[in-house]
Structure 1
Amino acid sequence: MKVEVSDWVQAKTNNGELIHGFIDAVDEAQRMANVIVVKSDNEESIGKPIAVREQWLRKLPEYAIEDEGSIQSLIDVALSTRDEQWFNELTEKLTTIQRNTHTGNNKPVAYPSSTNQLGYPV
């Protein structure tokens, strides 16, 4: 399977950990990918890069983010992985969506009730 930087994947590591994350580097010569872990059954791995063989990766389908709740969740991921560029892109997209859903009376639309990755209200 061909994977590229920024692809979202699931995998099982050589230590048997189940991980979910995105690729930030690919070594085609060794058929390895560096995955930034967003979810794992080993909490110590979350937020850290892990090298995984390409054959152990399962590419996840692309997901279109068009609603405030999804973007806010991804902002949480960007913060937890300290990805400033992605955070800025998501924040810009969230601002654009909020402007487009503006009610016309010069007051911003209230945030919908949602929670962050830890289950706390935002």
Structure 2
Amino acid sequence: MIMKQESKWNKGDWVKGRTVNGELMYGYIVDFDSDEGTVKVNVVACDRESTVGRTVETLNYLIKPFPILPMNNDQLRSMTDLALITSDRDWFMDLSSKLSESKKASGDQMTRSDAWFWSAQR
């Protein structure tokens, strides 16, 4: 009996690592096969230019999570604008709560320029 291995990856995870040909790349996961130990990555940047924009299949152990730095308030606002433009309500609500938590943690008060942002949540 073969035990199915749990994947540590999720679709959309940002990763960096190597292709099976040894090229350095980073991108996001579009699919994975836990049984085979492979992942398919949509490549955003690579040291082989012709690989950029393509989906490549590589081995689990050749990639690792891409470090994501926390966003500041201006970056959160910009991403919230993008969520509104794309009509992604869940993403908008997630970003809004992060911005609210960030402002509470820093002790910032809502300013008049923030009113447009918060009015969308009422």
Q: TM-score, normalised by structure 1?
A: 0.55
Give unmatched runs, 5+ long, in structure 1: 76-86, 109-122
Distance 1:70 1:16, change over 3 A: farther
Picking from 45, 50, 56, the partner of 1:44 is 50
Q: Cα deviation per residue 1:7-66 (whole Å; 9 max; x = unaligned)? A: 211111122211011111111111111111111111222222111100111112343334
Say whether residues 1:22 and 2:31 are aligned partners: no
Q: Which residue of 2 is the match for residue 5 of structure 1?
A: 11
Output the amino acid matched with 1:104. R
Larger Rg computed on CA atoms: 2
Q: How many pairs align?
A: 97
Q: Which residue of 2 is the match for residue 81 of structure 1?
A: none
Percent of matched pairs sharing the same residue: 22
Q: TM-score, normalised by structure 2?
A: 0.55
Say whether residues 1:104 and 2:112 are aligned partners: yes
Give unmatched runs, 5+ long, in structure 2: 1-6, 104-108, 117-122
Q: Cα deviation per residue 1:83-104 (whole Å; 9 max; x = unaligned)? A: xxxx554x958x967xx99852
What is the RMSD computed on CA atoms of the aligned residues? 3.9
